[in-house]
Amino acid sequence: MVSGLLDGKRLVVTGVLDERSLAFGVAALAQEQGAEIVLTGAGRGLSITRRVARRLPEPPDVYELDVTVPEHFPALADALGRRWGAVDGALHAIGFAPRACMGGGFLEASWEDVGLALNVSTYSLKALVAGLLPLFRSAGGGSVVGLDFDATRAWPAYDWMGVAKAGLESCARYLARDVGQHRLRVNLVASGPITTTAARSIPGVEAFRDTWRARAPLGWDTEDSSCVAKACVALLSNWFPMTTGEVIHVDGGFQAIGI
């Protein structure tokens, strides 16, 4: 029997909204590679996540985790503690910004809206890592992977979500610094644009597509997220044991090219 890259790993996968979600691809590949997973869902999306979970190769349990509700983190940790006693990895695929924060109007967005975007999209990485830290420690370490979009430059339409992602990149570095002593790694995967349901909700996002395809040395298919799933699974595995605080670009090489 060929062993899987994630044999025996116990993983928490957030952010599965539908079958197009990047997290769905990661969850499916993780199972294929031998991991036992649970999903989390939030609010109105929770029942959707439960339906979509049934479409995975091994339908996993779904726990409620609304990152704006602090009590949900200890509740999740308690439930996973009873279930597994330890956790080996987590995928952070959580992001949200109110409509006013994207698609133009950068100067007009209110702090109320921006604050919510930063809470859900940036601070939640810290909250997830801190909330699950005792379980990672019980496992003797682990790997947290977050989904990112290159935040080193300004993009059309992305606006305050770009700021949130810049914060996420910085947050990952600080987390890496503070949890490395527990053999816990924290890395991000900065994907090129993929046509997910979440991405479709960003007004003007189609402007990215043709430019990306033309400039990326490897080309880019906005409909194919399998490259993202592979990178995440690799980072969740034991094959990046000395990599942390890093942003891995899975973008066809776009980020390396000037014009």
Q: Which of 12, 30, 42, 52 binds another protein (CB under 8 A)?
A: 52
- Among residues 20 and 137, whose Cβ is nearest to another protein? 20
Asked whether position 44 contacts another protein by CB under 8 A, the answer is: yes
- Buried b or exposed e, range 77-107, using 16+ CB within 10 angstroms: beebbeebebbbbbbbbbbbbbebbbbeebe
CA distance 13 to 87: 11
Please count the residues of the chain.
Answer: 259
- In the 8-state DSSP scheme, what is residue 217? T
Residues 13-42 that bind another protein (CB under 8 A): 17-18, 20
CB of 99 to another protein, least distance (A): 12
Residues 146-185 that bind another protein (CB under 8 A): none
Helix (H) or strand (E) holding 11: strand 10-13
Give the amino acid at 16. V
CA distance 245 to 172: 6
Interacting span for another protein (CB under 8 A) from 157-165, 166-174, 193-201, 219-227: 193-201
Asked whether position 47 contacts another protein by CB under 8 A, the answer is: yes
Asked whether position 224 contacts another protein by CB under 8 A, the answer is: no
Asked whether position 48 contacts another protein by CB under 8 A, the answer is: yes
* Binding interface with another protein (CB under 8 A): 17-18, 20, 44-45, 47-48, 51-52, 54, 197, 200-201
